[in-house]
């Protein structure tokens, strides 16, 4: 993974984590949930980004090289950088949480953490700080309630498997624009090591059937990937 790589889909998050495998896995998981994630591995780079290209929210590990997480917190708040900050760390003792919150963190999650809980806390902070302005995304009659993480066709909930949901969230973030099949595979199967690449086609086929009558079409672009668009015929 290129540590500077970001995918501009949803609210921009900066993830500061010096363990490359963990950073890559968390980046893929959050992108599958509709966020745009940039990664960096040290506190000095994090401060530079906060000063010159502030994200919607910062995910900050405390044990990082250069400036550690607490120093980043102190400097960011001393410079009146108002970006909401969630601390993600293995230091889960009550005293550590108090120190982090007193230093300026808005929230604190100990590792390991549940991704659903992390997403809920991120979205709550974004709403509180007015940085998650698009609470509902639409394409045709299809709607994504981002706070609930649920898809609706009209008033009816669209029943999806987790993989179908991950694929649809990725496509819903950029309706009318092609998303490469390789990228979708990484988002739909973020932790899989023995899944065949063609498995993404099976997920797309099943999702396309479920979208019938929704006013939304999942289109295959051979050699490019897939896109989501309004379907005037339904």
pLDDT in the model for residue 2 = 35
Last residue of a domain, one of 111, 128, 145: 128
pTM here is: 0.57
Q: Is 25 exposed, middle or buried (0-12, 13-18, 19+ CB in 10 A)?
A: middle
Radius of gyration of the chain (CA): 19
Domain residues for the domain of 149 are 136-230
Last residue of a domain, one of 128, 147, 180: 128
pLDDT in the model for residue 143 = 87
Sheet holding 36-40, edge to edge: 36-40, 12-16, 57-60, 85-89, 107-110
Q: What's the structural domain count of the chain?
A: 2
23 domain-assigned = yes
pLDDT along the chain (234 residues), means of 10: 42 92 91 88 93 92 88 90 88 61 82 85 83 67 79 89 90 84 87 83 95 91 89 65
Give ∠ CA 207-213-216 in degrees, rounded to 5: 65
7 domain-assigned = no
**Residues 190 and 223 grouped into a single domain:** yes
**Residues 21 and 100 grouped into a single domain:** yes
**Residues 98 and 176 grouped into a single domain:** no
CATH number at residue 179: 1.10.10.10
**Residues 108 and 169 grouped into a single domain:** no
**Residues 21 and 114 grouped into a single domain:** yes
Task: Name the residue with tokens 């709403």.
Answer: 127
**Residues 16 and 124 grouped into a single domain:** yes
5 domain-assigned = no
Last residue of a domain, one of 128, 162, 190: 128
CATH number at residue 62: 3.40.50.2300
């Amino acid at each position: 993974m290129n540590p500077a790589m970001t995918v501009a889909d949803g609210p921009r998050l900066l993830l500061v984590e010096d363990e490359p495998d963990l950073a890559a896995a968390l980046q893929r998981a959050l992108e599958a949930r509709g966020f745009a994630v940039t990664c960096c591995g040290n506190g000095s780079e994090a401060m530079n980004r906060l000063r010159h290209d502030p994200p919607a929210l910062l995910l900050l590990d405390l044990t990082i090289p250069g400036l550690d997480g607490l120093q980043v917190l102190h400097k960011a708040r001393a410079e009146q950088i108002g970006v909401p900050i969630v601390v993600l760390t293995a230091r889960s003792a009550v005293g550590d949480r108090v120190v982090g919150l007193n230093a300026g963190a808005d929230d604190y999650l100990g590792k390991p953490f549940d991704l659903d809980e992390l997403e809920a806390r991120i979205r709550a902070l974004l709403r509180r700080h007015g940085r998650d302005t698009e609470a509902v995304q639409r394409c045709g009659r299809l709607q994504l309630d981002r706070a609930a993480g649920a898809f609706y066709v009209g008033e009816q909930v669209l029943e999806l498997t987790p993989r179908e949901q991950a694929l649809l969230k990725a496509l819903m973030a950029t309706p009318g624009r092609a998303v490469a099949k390789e990228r979708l595979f990484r988002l739909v199967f973020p932790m899989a090591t023995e899944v065949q690449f063609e498995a993404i086609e099976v997920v797309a086929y099943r999702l396309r059937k479920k979208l019938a009558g929704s006013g939304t079409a999942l289109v295959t672009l051979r050699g490019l990937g897939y896109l989501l668009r309004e379907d005037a015929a339904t």
